[in-house]
Structure 1
Amino acid sequence: MLLEFRTKNFKSFQDELVFSMIPAPKQKGLDYSILKEKIGVKTHKALSSAIIYGPNASGKTNIIGAMDVLKNIIIRGHIRNEDDKSKSNPAANQLELIPNKSALKRTPVDFAIKFIANNLLFDYKLSLDLGGFLEEDYKRKVLSETFYVNEKMVFSRDSSLEFGDLNFIKKYAINGFEENQKSALIFAKNNLNPAELFLMNGFKAFFSSILVSMISDWLEDKFMVFCRADQLQAKPSSSKKSTIYINSTINKAAHIFGINSNALGYLTEDDESDPKLVSLVGGKEGNMPIRAEVFESYGTIRFVNMFPMVMSALVTGGTLVIDEFDASLHPMALMSIVNIFHNDELNKKNAQLIFNTHNTIFLNSNLFRRDEIKFVERDDESFCSTHYSLSDFGTSGKDGVRNGGDYMKNYFINQYGAIKDIDFTSVFENLLEMRGEKN
């Protein structure tokens, strides 16, 4: 369960971005949107959903991209470039693309993430010297790294390495840790690699591989971040040549959505190829497999590729983060998915849904709390982005946002910002003048 994500000097976010899933104070109504998990005597609360609005190129995608970058850096355990280039988020593997390009001097890139997994509260912060924008050959280094579990410091790293009370992690420690604790501390302090995360290397090897596994498992399996929703492609877990695999749950959802065929399945044509989505179409010879992109609409294929991620989040209690979530999908289908995340009887594992959209149908006080509605705005002079929530406006005064207000109307009259007046008339007037066709 994600509680908070922070970053600074990441692409268009020169100042610190604080993306909070912690409910804002004094918010009333829609309590079914609040997730709760008790750790010890303290109950932690989180929002079950968040929706992000803003003009094109405002920086909405950079929020999701930053989450994906931190996820990739932690999993691989270092800040060197990877040969595997990501089409959806190149900055995850080419770190010279991260620093804000308008910075006049080299400025650290900061990340922080707070989440709950395995009934433990994890809080991890990272500050990196990545050089300047496009400085590919810069010798990068970790400036600082801190790790807290249940609000107790485990270690803090900057130019040196300091540890908190390690008695707290004894039950998660590696075999023989208690007997060799003193030598492990000395070895760890003397063998810090400036390009590697201590969490995923020294701490994992000499202190607690169990805690590190909890973190990496949550990042890999439950923190599902997709920077380009159109690149989602669901596949069966196994496949065999000439065998059609049909998922009954997905097909039931696809029929409700409105597929054209009798059913959808996955077919592997040879031993080396990936399974392909096919439509099963009735005819003289019964259900014949036809490539889905030939028979189904683009929206249907997008839905079928996205829906398994929704199911996975709800079944495992994952946090699903998707850019362009609403592309090619009918608002009523998306509304149903949102309502499922808000349904206490269905969302039993504390699943979360976070997505970007331009569809103002979700600006509805009966669907989202004010603290679930987020905005991103970009300054036209500095090209830097700012992030804020509807709950930041307060409830009183001329620009106050009250429960039950008309959020959509107020957004279009620019009461909340994060909207841009776009008029292409002058472009076409100039075009006609150039062609000598005006008047």
Structure 2
Amino acid sequence: MLLEFRTRNFKSFQDELVFSMTPAPKQKGLDYSILKEKIGIKLHKGLSSAVIYGPNASGKTNIIGAMDVMKNIVLRGHIRNVDNKSHANPASTQLEYIPNKDNLNKVPVDFGIKFIDKGYLIEYKLSLDLGRFLDDEYKRRVLSEVLYVDEKVIFSRDKAEIEFPKAPEFIKKFIDGFDRNDARVAIKLVQKNLNREELFLMNGFKNMFSSSLVSIISNWFEDKFMVFCRADSLQVKPSNSKKATLYLSNVVNQAARIFGVNSNALGYLENDDDSEPKLVSLVGGDEGNRHVQAEDFESFGTIRFVNMFPIVRNALLLGGTLIVDEFDASIHPIALMSLVNVFHNDELNKKNAQLIFNTHNPIFLNSNLFRRDEIKFVERDEVTFCSNHYSLSDFGTSGREGVRNGGDYMKNYFVNQYGAIKDIDFTSVIESLWESRGELIQDATDQEE
């Protein structure tokens, strides 16, 4: 369960972004949106969903992009570029795209995340010196790392210095065969060989101290922190060494029939000619089912849903945090509301799964569907071009600008009470088009005369 994500100097977010998935104080109503997990004697609460609004190019996607970048850096364990460039999020593999382009000085890029998994509250902070925007030749280095478990420091790194806290009994739970004298020797060895481009968490700490604790963290990032920076990358395809094989999923097809399909069923066909399975529609006839390419037979919305649904299913079964840019693209609002309601239903959402997505659809600005702390906004300063993030719960409940439970959030948003909206009028562009067209016609007439 994700509780908080932070970043600083990431693209349009020059100042610190704090994206909170914990309930705001004094917020009441829609208690089904509150997830609960007890660690020791302390009860932790999280939000089951969040929806992010803002105009185009405001920075909404940069929030999801920052999460994806941190995930990729942690899993590969270093801050060097890699050859397999990402079309969905280039900054995840080419780190020179990360720093804010208007920072003339070398400002550190910070990441921080707090989540609950396997009965532990885990927080990991990371500060990186990546140079300036597009400086791909810069000698990058990790400035600091801190790992907390259940609000206790496991280790801290300041450049080449590694420190462990004085809490041996607690550390013994995580550090295999812990002995303080051996630990001192190991720390000296690690500090001597510490690579400034590598994360201590995923290298020295994992190899010399606690692979079990790192496995909890890395497995959460790999399996449960489900980040999709582009709607068209939201898909799961089966892989199998067998060829000429058709894969069907009863659960996916049941959902697809409810959503709406043109065929009898949908599946993935794998054969020798294809590098990966292709989505196909099964069409019945007198000679039995035949398959055709789904993109030739189904609507684009149906294909998107079929690609999306296995991800949603995995999030619910694993208790994952599903984060998607434009989750609602080409999907009917009623279908989307049904999926949102699944995450809000504790009888169906048994593993504390979460759904976070960007949207332009105002239908989710509904006090009967989302709490105020679940409705997020992003706006960009037209002078500095920097993004600012806030929640509807950040507004007070009294006064002219107050936001009350049961208020008309959609109406107030469109009259610019909450910001994060831009007045767009293309009239002048079309007028100039006709004016230029008239000038061309007049020039042609003059030339003929």
**Matched-pair identity in %:** 73
> Shift of the alpha carbon at 1:184?
1.2
**Deviations, residues 65-95 of structure 1 (Å, cap 9, x unaligned):** 0000000000111101011100000000100
1:288-303 matches, within 5 Å, as 288-303=290-305
> Shift of the alpha carbon at 1:275?
1.1
Tell me how far apart the structure 2 counterparts of residues 197 and 182 of structure 1 sit (CA, whole Å): 19
Tell me how far apart the structure 2 counterparts of residues 393 and 414 of structure 1 sit (CA, whole Å): 13
Aligned residue in 1 for 2:446: none
Q: Which amino acid is 2:321 matched to? A: T
> Shift of the alpha carbon at 1:318?
0.3
Aligned residue in 1 for 2:409: 407
SS of equivalent to 1:436: helix
> Shift of the alpha carbon at 1:229?
1.4
Tell me how far apart the structure 2 counterparts of residues 21 and 230 of structure 1 sit (CA, whole Å): 25
Tell me how far apart the structure 1 counterparts of residues 88 and 75 of structure 2 sit (CA, whole Å): 18
Tell me how far apart the structure 2 counterparts of residues 157 and 178 of structure 1 sit (CA, whole Å): 18
Tell me how far apart the structure 2 counterparts of residues 9 and 62 of structure 1 sit (CA, whole Å): 11
1:178-197 matches, within 5 Å, as 180-197=182-199
1:223-238 matches, within 5 Å, as 223-238=225-240
1:8-19 matches, within 5 Å, as 8-19=8-19
Candidates 347, 350, 353, aligned match of 2:352: 350
1:274-423 matches, within 5 Å, as 274-423=276-425
8 Å CA contact 2:172, 2:178 repeated in 1? no
Misfit runs of 4+, over 6 Å: none
| Structure 1 pair 239–411 and aligned structure 2 pair: CA distance change class (3 A) | farther
Aligned residue in 1 for 2:102: 102
Aligned residue in 2 for 1:3: 3
Consecutive unaligned residues in structure 2, runs of 5 or more: 442-449
Tell me how far apart the structure 1 counterparts of residues 141 and 187 of structure 2 sit (CA, whole Å): 21
Aligned residue in 1 for 2:164: 163
1:39-78 matches, within 5 Å, as 39-78=39-78
Range with greater deviation from structure 2 (177-186 or 345-354): 177-186
Q: Which amino acid is 1:85 matched to? A: K
What count of residue pairs does the alignment treat as equivalent? 439
Q: Which amino acid is 1:8 matched to? A: R
Q: Which amino acid is 1:141 matched to? A: R
**Deviations, residues 35-67 of structure 1 (Å, cap 9, x unaligned):** 001000101100000000000000000000000
Tell me how far apart the structure 2 counterparts of residues 185 and 161 of structure 1 sit (CA, whole Å): 7
1:114-133 matches, within 5 Å, as 114-133=114-133
TM-score, normalised relative to structure 1: 0.98
Q: Which amino acid is 2:39 matched to? A: I
Aligned residue in 1 for 2:447: none
8 Å CA contact 2:239, 2:277 repeated in 1? no
> Shift of the alpha carbon at 1:15?
0.5
8 Å CA contact 1:96, 1:130 repeated in 2? yes
- Asked if residue 199 in structure 1 is aligned to residue 238 in structure 2, the reply is no
SS of equivalent to 1:4: strand
Tell me how far apart the structure 1 counterparts of residues 242 and 383 of structure 2 sit (CA, whole Å): 56
Larger C-alpha radius of gyration, 1 or 2?
2
Tell me how far apart the structure 1 counterparts of residues 153 and 177 of structure 2 sit (CA, whole Å): 22
8 Å CA contact 1:177, 1:206 repeated in 2? no
8 Å CA contact 1:155, 1:161 repeated in 2? yes
> Shift of the alpha carbon at 1:283?
1.9
Tell me how far apart the structure 2 counterparts of residues 75 and 253 of structure 1 sit (CA, whole Å): 33
> Shift of the alpha carbon at 1:266?
1.0
TM-score, normalised relative to structure 2: 0.95
> Shift of the alpha carbon at 1:346?
0.5
Tell me how far apart the structure 2 counterparts of residues 56 and 273 of structure 1 sit (CA, whole Å): 35
8 Å CA contact 2:81, 2:93 repeated in 1? yes
8 Å CA contact 2:168, 2:180 repeated in 1? no
Q: Which amino acid is 2:154 matched to? A: V
SS of equivalent to 2:355: strand
Tell me how far apart the structure 1 counterparts of residues 321 and 176 of structure 2 sit (CA, whole Å): 29
Consecutive unaligned residues in structure 1, runs of 5 or more: none
RMSD: 1.5
**Deviations, residues 358-417 of structure 1 (Å, cap 9, x unaligned):** 000000000000000000000111110000000000111110000000000000000000
> Shift of the alpha carbon at 1:233?
2.7
SS of equivalent to 1:431: helix
**Deviations, residues 89-111 of structure 1 (Å, cap 9, x unaligned):** 00001000000001121100000
> Shift of the alpha carbon at 1:172?
2.5
Aligned residue in 2 for 1:433: 435
> Shift of the alpha carbon at 1:345?
0.4
| Structure 1 pair 269–435 and aligned structure 2 pair: CA distance change class (3 A) | same
SS of equivalent to 1:200: helix
- Asked if residue 146 in structure 1 is aligned to residue 160 in structure 2, the reply is no
8 Å CA contact 1:177, 1:207 repeated in 2? no
Q: Which amino acid is 1:306 matched to? A: M
Tell me how far apart the structure 2 counterparts of residues 298 and 177 of structure 1 sit (CA, whole Å): 59
SS of equivalent to 1:180: helix
8 Å CA contact 2:235, 2:311 repeated in 1? no
**Deviations, residues 134-161 of structure 1 (Å, cap 9, x unaligned):** 0000000111111100000111111422
SS of equivalent to 2:46: strand
